[in-house]
Every structure is written in structure tokens, then in C-alpha cells.
Amino acid sequence: MRAAALKAGATVLTVATTVMSALYVTAHLKNPAAPLQPTVLRSAGSSTVAGPGGTLTLGPSVQPSDVQPVTSTYAS
């Protein structure tokens, strides 16, 4: 009789723990809007301009200017 009571108690405790865990996890879902990658992998600060001849991308360390260039990079 006592052994049966212990088995029943253990079963009730296990089921209760499982149910409570499921309820807790459901109530604390991971933010579905969280980014899937670190922001460092994004091209933050860069700008891309597409023209008829190709695409120019400037990173944050290269600033455009309106002044006349003193020289250019070119194919030789």
C-alpha cells in the first residue's frame, strides 16, 4: 500500500513538473524578431550606387567629395 502511494506520488510529481515546464517555456518564447546575425555582419554605414556600367559601393572609411580629383585609379 505504501509502495503504491510512493509510485503514485512520483508519477504525479513528474507529470506536474513536465506540465509546469511546458507552461513556462510557452510563456517565455524567444523573441521571434531577434536578428539572426550579429549586426557587425551588416553593411552598416556603406552606400551603394548602381549605374549603367556597374555598381559602386563606398564603405564608411571612404568619403565621397565634390572636389576635382588629383588623379584616378585606372586599368593600365
Partner 1 sequence: MPHSAPLEEHHFEALGARCGLFAVGLSKDRLVEGELWTVRLGARLTRFSRDSELSRFNASAGTWVEVSGDLEALLRESLHAFETSGGLVNVAVLPSMIGIGYTKPLSSGRLAATVTEMRPPPALPAVLEVKRRAARLEPGAGIDLGGIAKGWMADRLCDALGPNALANLGGDLSAGGPGPAGDGWPVGLAGVTVLLREQGAATSSVRRRRWGDGQHHLIDPRTGRPAKTGLEEVSVVAATGVEAEVVAKTALLIGPELAPVFCAARAMAWWLSH
The length of the chain, given as a count of residues: 76
Cell 500500500 belongs to residue: 1
Nearer to partner 1, 32 or 54 (CB): 54
Q: Which is nearer to partner 1, 29 or 66 (CB)?
A: 66
Q: Which one among 3, 31, 43, 44 touches partner 1, defined by CB under 8 A?
A: 43
Q: Which three cell numbers stand for residue 12?
A: 504525479
Q: What's the closest the beta carbon of residue 42 comes to partner 1, in angstroms?
A: 10
If DSSP codes are grouped into helix, strand and coil, which group holds residue 48? Answer: strand
Residue 58: CB atoms within 10 A of its CB come to 13
Question: Closest approach of Cβ 40 to partner 1, in Å?
Answer: 12
Using CB under 8 A as the binding rule, whether residue 1 contacts partner 1 is answered as: no
